[in-house]
Structure 1
Amino acid sequence: MKLRSKKVLSMDFDTRSIKMAEGIFKKGKLNIEATFLLDLPEGVYEDGYINDKNLLSEIMDSFLRLNNIKTDNIVAVVNSSDILTRDIIIPSVGEDEIEGILKYKIADYIPIDPEDYIVQYINEGVFMENGNEKLKLFIVAMPKTLAKQHFDLLRDLDLKPRILDFQSNAIRKFLSFNETIEKNSIIKEKTIASINVEFATTNLTILKDEAIEISRNIPLGIKNILENVDVNLNLTEREILDSIFSFKKSDKSSLTEEENLEITGALNNLLSRLFDSLEMVFRYYSSQEQNNKIDLIILQGSIADVDDIKERFENYLNIKTLSINSLNGLLDKNLDIYSNAIGSLIRGESI
């Protein structure tokens, strides 16, 4: 499938939005021509599944026409609690034999019915174990129903879906492509925990030597803030989100002190629960091997714009925390939002 010299539109699907990046990846160079954000209404899309195909198709068709988006080569980026991942170790064999092992023995590694899943892998390299050559694979098992929903949706829009990528793999490619991400902070040769707080869930990806070590969906997200704000205040969802994601604290002056305190309390509650969940995964990761240690946290998504958020992560988890605001030195304040979509424009091993 030759997409290297063609313009591609990447779509990163989330419960309440689709982040899009349009560009070309050719001869190791990435040219991003445009980015777009499509907000979705409640109930249309949830946990990687399309609940209302007709409405979502109408919304996307209108958005593509309104923004004069004509690129039809599509890479879709998805995430779901139903997507299963594993690191597995097998004897060192050729690519053809890997396919055979995964086809006939995948149930030995992941408790699934192979008939219900599409199983793909990332080859993470050969190593020696007790004098024998072994191969490490990162396995991704995606429900066929989930994949079919997205391909059918895109084809109904007269688009050409080429690849269905996985969020953790998209951020892996994005960070592997970059030498620095914030104020020339070098990220190469570091073990990174990428944290993407989305509407319904938080995606945690731990990367070491440009390989995925852990991919986890934590069932905490922005919706937990909305649910914990007192309904008697009669605040709209937009008012709450604007308050949370203001770049300057002075922007919150349109709300009363009581309203701001209520929103701050809901945010603090989310962060407290999220920190505890992250710390548990970090402890598990550190216990697996003696040298397993998180060097750096990288925040993705709009959560990176919350006041003092990096300092709060650093203070609680005691790990240096950065946000994504540059692509190999090119500054762009929106990169943290579009990092998954941009990562899937980069050709490499895809799921």
Structure 2
Amino acid sequence: MLDHIGSTPLVRLDKLFSQDHVTVLAKLETFNPSGSVKDRIVKHIIEDAERSGVLRSGGTIVENTSGNTGAAIAMIAAIKGYRAILTMPDKVSQEKQDALRALGAEVVRCPTSAQPGSPDHYVRRARDIAASIPGSFMIDQYDNPKNAEAHYLTTGKEIWEQTGGEIDYFVASGSTGGTISGIGRYLKERLPDLKVIMPDPVGSIYHDYFNTGTVDHGKIGTYQVEGVGEDHIAECMDFTVVDEVLQFEDADAFAMARRLARQEGIFAGGSSGANLWGCVQIARRSDEPVTIVTVLPDSGLKYLSKFFSDRWMKAQGHDISS
């Protein structure tokens, strides 16, 4: 199973982007064993912890997650015989929660509205649990530099080889920042003129922080897209590789994910929709031939009860005509 992490396909999206001068290539991370891009970082971090002796046989892995990192942890913990305890915001889809439990993980749900640093916040809760269990190990995906390193060593290298280095833009939203930071650094070291674009949901901290260098807590809010944006600055997020941050609404991401399924036959999650929305913005402003690469982090199967449900979309006030 672990040997099949990575080496995911890169496909051209011809129907969503039919302009002759625009090429959009999407990395399909749902082909990883647990169904998301997070398999890469969890494998890399756990193997490093095993080599260093920080994580020992029969140990406990604790982590805060929006679901995909948790699924990767639960899968690898099952394979290797570790106990897994995972904290998550209660907005996380029921499909994700059920998958973690099916793989044997213990799930602790926390209020999405909990403020960073409060005992009920899912990041703080994970740290408190880890501190209470002797010898436990945290993946620490938000602040662990091994997160971005995993993408630098694997995903970035794969994209470079699959495109032959013919890339003008790389588009990826971020939460921990590992994907955009690792891939962005790898590609920019080889293509200094490459532009890295980061879509960010309204309510996330990153857009204002990127543009002002300060944090306005009054602008932090809740949003429905899972796995992107953040309410605190993750140490893993490297803004030096980012050229522009674009704000999107939940409806933008959901509409693009639904269009992707119906027009390209690719079933992907809300973060994929956000990334494709970002690609649309770049395509619209481009008059010359341009190649845009993005990542589709996970599968739409994890969101059947949410934005792929017409009933849910209508209840949330979202348009289902697109």
TM-score by length of 2: 0.32
**TM (normalized to structure 1)?**
0.30
**Greater fraction of residues in strand:** 1
Q: Which has the larger radius of gyration?
A: 1
Query: Could you say which structure has the higher helix fraction?
Result: 2
